[in-house]
Chains A and B, each alone.
Chain A
Amino acid sequence: MNPRLRQSIVVALARLNSMRAGHPRLFSTSVLLTVALLMGLHFTFGERMFHPEMRLWDSSRFSKADLFDLEFFANKLEEPDALDRLSQYLRTNLSDTTTNALAIYRGGLDSHLQQALAEDLNHLIQRGSIYDSNFFAHVRLATETKDLLGQTAKLSAAQLTRLNRMLLQDAYPCCISKHLFWSERSFWMDLLLHSILPIALWCIWNSISFGRLDSLPLIAKLVLVICIGDIVFYLIPINLAKAEEAQLFHIKMPLEYWNWWTLWTSTVVVTGNVVMLRRWWLLLGFSGFSWAGRLATTPITWTRVLFGAAIVGSGLAGAWPVGIHIVLPRMAISPTTLSVAERYLITPRLKSDFRYITSTAQWSGTRVGVLIDHIELADQQRQNYYKTLNDFIFKEYVLSADIDQLALAELNWRRTLCEEFYPFLCKERDAVAAAHIVVRRLRERVGIDPEYSSRVGIETIWAQQMTDEAGFERIYVAALRSVGIAARLTENAQAELWTGNAWMIAPRPLGSLLPTK
């Protein structure tokens, strides 16, 4: 080893040792604070700089990553419904390249099509306002979009582009990324918890301890290490994801686990700040009780500090995911809880389902856990009865929780019905045969009585165990969906199911002896 380098290391170690010996608590606190601060900054900004769905500084232009559910979007554009004027309009404004790419598209990821669609949409939203009341008659516009729409005459070109993008986001909420909406809320929370608070603590602490501790060289070195680590930390998964996308090899599982590791950064921040609380307590002189004396007499060694940090850290690391997985599902749905749930509870593979389902029903007032149940149970049963199920049919007729279109939505039915019927269908692989079993069991649980004519949702029907004929058809559709059979109501309000090739009227239930109205 170079003698000069060796000498500088020896000097640095000696200096560190003297600092530790002179002001052990100040020193270790400062180190902890610095780590917490850097981690917090990294957590708030670093991730957003690298993660494609959480970019902070973004224009209204579409990138191909914004079209996250390509299959669904392509279906909409390729065969627009008669009532879907907007999709028809978009379809007529696609370039030849995109139209050709759409024609040969057979599902799954298609980078070329995504790019072409993004370019066409960018061209469209920059051309002028795309708003037409006929196009958006059936679209539920967000309040922000409505506000902006009210000022169309005064908008600049950039704002008009933004408005167009927001209109498209509202029209295709499950296909087009709403990163402006989703990231902003968690960004401000992250900024407060992980950056502003640690910055304030760091400044105060170092100004108090200034003169007694010269930790700046150490801090500079830590910054360097963490920045390098940060880059490595994100570059690796991003490149792995690209390799996965290019179908070089299949690494979905390690990628998902890698995402779980990102939780630990937050854990370190929380741990640092919790340890800090005790230090503040001691520094500000509230330590008149026996703990202080005990601490004074107990020598602080590196082993003990590491041991303590390991205990606290592992405790918090355990508590954090447990809290997320137990407390969050019991909280009511709001933009904030949805944002957190999407980030921590939904695996990347299910994010598209998550965005679809949140866009199709009135979820306010429902618990987050109900939403998660719908997504996870539907996903588990995705291939129970169909070898290949079109993503569009899966989302619209298996995953979708909204059957009744009632003012007071009742959406907490999937787990109840699935637990009731699925045990009888474990070995069944044919949708029609399974539907026969479902309808027989359902009829034994739910009676048909025309007196129950009030239009209520699935939960109420299940609780009352009686309903009228229309209500029975609704709960029949729900029961079929709960076990993974694609089902919908016909125009005559009869349940019909997807056999894998075509729609057919679902097996009829045993009738009622009571006169129909």
Chain B
Amino acid sequence: MKLLFRGAKGRNLEGQFIMLARQDVGLTHIGMSWLARIICFALVSSIVTVFVGCVLHHAKAEPKHILLSLRMADGGDVGGIVVVPTLRAKYPVVICSPGRDGNAHDFQSELDQLANLGFAVVSIEHAQSNQALFDQQFIALARYLEGQPWAQSNAAAWVDLGGGSPNMLGLLLRHPEIQPQLLVTVSESRRWELDAVYSALRLDSEASAQWKTNPMPIHCPVALVQDGPPSKLPAQAMEAFLGLLRARGISVVRETLACEASEFDDNRPGVLRAAVEYCRAHLPLADYASAFPECGVNPTQREQFNVGMQRAGLNRRELWHAVASTRGVEQHTMMVVIGYLEDYDLAHIQAAHLKEVIHVAWRARRQYSWCREAPLDIFEKFTANPRVFEEPSERFQDFFRQRLRREIKYCHTTEEACNAIWRWMHRRVEWRRPVDLSAEQGAGATPRQVLDQGFSECSGMVILYTALCRSIGLPTRPASTIWQLTSLGHHWTEVWSVEEKQWHANDCSAEDRPYGADWLLRVPKAVIHAPAGIRGTWNGIAEGRFDAFTNTVGLFYPSGQVTVRVLEHGAPVRNRFVLAENLAPDRLVTAARAKTDVGGEAHFTLGASARQPYRFSIDQSGDTDWQWLEVKSNNLVDLVLNLGCKRPFDKKTDLPPALTILGSRPAKEANK
């Protein structure tokens, strides 16, 4: 130490060192003090930052209010209020007329709710009696909206809460260049209003003679909203009015709002809400994808994404952040994934969770051949997917990826990877009978819960196996069957094989069935339901919505096709559901359900009948027409059911006929 403090000129600096050391104590104290100050400062500043962040976040979550003050051509002003959602997108516009005695600011809080539905809402204080002034105000407003980046100026609806419709129709008549997509007018149930419309459209004057030969230039559909029966408006007068408008080429519909008369008059915010919901069904959706011009989604995916964002409701902001924080291909996948997320996930999922799903999926796609070579749409639907069935949402992707990466380090094919995961899973989880488990331990458990508890039934193991496969990039989907001879079924997984270029059925819950095992023909199957990667399949089987699934029985099991025609008095009936059922020992079990098309035909692909034929019937309450039908492998069969025919069915007496041939393979005992 002393050497260190010897100066270049050889002076002994020991004394100075001691002095410095003494000072060092002081310096240390000063240093500690500064450290404490820095810590205090950091603490205080972080608290302030969090507080300010919360305030800003809350402020940002609220729709943006713009006070409208437009200068018209003649120098006058028109006032109002515009409420725009905060997310950067192009919104359809609803222009509200507050009614004869109303004010633009009357429904301010309701306008916020309407903006949350995905609209930009304008409430305007327009002239009530001066038609020329009214025209100028709306023209000024239309020009204002054309210049706004958030407005879809070609997707506007005008909603009149009473008293404004004569002016609106008059404007459309005089200025055909300004046309909304929809005009909704809420009738105040008074006769004078009809008179005002007559007057505005000059229907009752000789001057309107020209419209008797030429249609009026009002191209937008007009919806006239009334309260439910009994309405205060005279029915005959209304019908005459509607007839007159239709005769002039105006597409007008009369809509009835089921409610009490007092409710219709007093609850204007509720009526406004119902009218805007009506607009929502008839206007294009808000275009959230417009904020991401480089995302590369095609028009179908873009529409699905917008629908997903629309259905997310209050969680929309979270999804938007998830998309905004990703780039390139990951952003594309994020948007596609949001397009088919289930309603529950749309309303609950966090941006961080969604980002993890997409990030882990793309990481696997860059790393593993079984993922890289899978088609992009398969990858986006069945690898970058956070859900299997109706299990609680869980962030499992990175957790499983880290645990599996050593297991699959030397795997090169889909089969090797599947088998490695299958072995890994069966070392930790064993299969148990469903009767031994509670709902929380079976299909109601998350993948990590199944892993932690160490046992589950087939659906629970499918949840775990699917999650494991997806976390290392294998496109995987759950599949389930209904056996022909019992009312039971079974779940397994289908893995996309890049070598076979098709789905490969893998019975992951069986301890003796690796990837290559031949097991599918053991028990006769009626159908195999696999999700098609669209919204609504997560609880489709439980709710009997079989049409939400892809039936893959034809891929794996000897099967035939049946076309059922539903007729009523000899004419085909469309949009009727037809059921294909098995007669189990205790009851009839629905195996498949299909809807009739324009030609009255419903198409089924069913496994070849093994012991007894299928029963086909029309899905309706009470007695219906039905028939037994044997399905043979590689056969096409037609069947006709009559809607008017009522045949009672008793399973004790109406026994199925014997089969002409047995199924392709003798049925063996079900092993589960």
Contacts and interface: CB of A to CB of B under 8 A. Distances in A.
B338 to A, nearest CB: 14
A103 interface: no
B113 A407 contact: no
Given A456-B344, A465-B313, A465-B314, A444 B273 contact: yes
A454 B536 contact: yes
A464 B281 contact: no
Interface string B243-287: 000000000000111111001000101110111011011000000
Contacts of A460: 343-344, 347-348
Contacts of A456: 343-344, 347
Nearest to B228: A511
B315 interface: yes
A513 B277 contact: yes
B312 interface: yes
A463 B344 CA distance: 9
Contacts of B45: none
B113 A445 contact: yes
A406 B542 CA distance: 10
Given A146-B436, A454-B536, A514 B343 contact: no
A511 B277 contact: no
Between A365, A408, A510, the greatest number of chain B beta carbons within 10 A of the residue's beta carbon is seen for A510
B392 A408 contact: yes
B348 A463 contact: yes
B438 A140 contact: yes
A413 B417 CA distance: 43
A28 B444 CA distance: 54
A459 interface: yes
Nearest to A365: B392
Contact of A465 (B116, B228, B257, B391): B116
Contacts of A455: 539, 543
B313 A464 contact: yes
Interface string A204-220: 00000000000000000
A151 to B, nearest CB: 13
B267 A510 contact: yes
Given A443-B270, A510-B271, A514-B281, A364 B440 contact: yes
A510 B270 contact: yes
A40 interface: no
Contacts of B263: 440, 510
B535 interface: yes
A466 interface: yes
A27 B154 CA distance: 87
Contacts, number: 123
B643 interface: no
Contacts of B257: 510-513
Size band of the interface chain A makes with B: 35 or more
Nearest to A456: B343
B113 A444 contact: yes
A264 interface: no
Nearest to B269: A444
Contacts of B281: 449, 451, 514
Contact of B346 (A445, A464, A514): A464
B273 A513 contact: no
Contacts of B312: 463-464
A143 interface: yes
Contacts of A452: 311, 343
Contacts of A459: 347-348
Interface in A302-345: none
A513 B278 contact: yes
B619 interface: no
Looking at chain A's contact residues, is the secondary structure mostly helix, strand, loop, or mixed? loop
B51 to A, nearest CB: 18
B110 interface: yes
B277 A514 contact: yes
Nearest to A143: B438
B344 A407 contact: no
Contacts of B277: 447-449, 466, 512-514
B342 interface: yes
A408 B259 CA distance: 34
A474 to B, nearest CB: 14
B30 interface: no
Given A407-B443, A407-B444, A512 B346 contact: no
Contacts of B342: 454
Nearest to B436: A146
Interface string A139-153: 010110010000000
A361 B391 CA distance: 15
Interface in B201-241: 223, 225, 228
Contacts of B225: 513
B20 interface: no
A457 B390 CA distance: 12
A449 B311 CA distance: 12
A513 B258 CA distance: 8
Given A449-B281, A452-B343, A407 B315 contact: no
A372 B474 CA distance: 42
B117 interface: yes
B439 A443 contact: no
Interface string A457-476: 10110111110000000000
Nearest to A140: B438
A466 to B, nearest CB: 7
Interface string B516-552: 0000000000000000000110010011000000000
A75 interface: no
A358 to B, nearest CB: 13
A381 interface: no
Interface string A352-366: 000000000010110
B535 A454 contact: yes
Given A143-B438, A511-B259, A440 B270 contact: yes
B226 to A, nearest CB: 10
Interface string B106-136: 0000100100110000000000000000000
Given A407-B444, A407-B539, A511-B274, A457 B438 contact: no
Contacts of B348: 459-460, 463
Contacts of A444: 110, 113, 269-270, 273
A468 to B, nearest CB: 11
Interface in B423-466: 436, 438-441, 443-444, 446
A362 B228 CA distance: 41
Contact of B313 (A142, A466, A510, A511): A466
A10 to B, nearest CB: 48
Nearest to A467: B343
Contacts of B110: 444
A121 to B, nearest CB: 25
A444 B272 CA distance: 9
Between A407, A462, A465, A513, the greatest number of chain B beta carbons within 10 A of the residue's beta carbon is seen for A513
A209 B312 CA distance: 67
Between B110, B270, B535, B542, the greatest number of chain A beta carbons within 10 A of the residue's beta carbon is seen for B270
Contact of A440 (B258, B267, B439): B267
Nearest to B270: A510
Interface of A: 140, 142-143, 146, 362, 364-365, 406-408, 410, 440, 443-445, 447-449, 451-452, 454-457, 459-460, 462-466, 508, 510-514
A-B pairs, top 9 by smallest CB distance, nearest first, are A511-B258, A463-B347, A464-B313, A513-B278, A460-B347, A407-B390, A510-B270, A447-B277, A463-B313
13 contacts: A140-B439, A364-B392, A407-B443, A408-B391, A444-B113, A445-B113, A459-B347, A460-B347, A460-B348, A462-B314, A465-B113, A465-B116, A508-B259
Given A444-B113, A454-B535, A455-B543, 13 more contacts: A143-B438, A407-B439, A407-B443, A444-B273, A447-B273, A464-B312, A464-B343, A464-B347, A465-B113, A466-B313, A508-B259, A510-B267, A513-B225
Interface of B: 110, 113, 116-117, 223, 225, 228, 255-260, 263, 267, 269-271, 273-275, 277-278, 280-281, 311-315, 342-344, 346-348, 390-392, 436, 438-441, 443-444, 446, 535-536, 539, 542-543
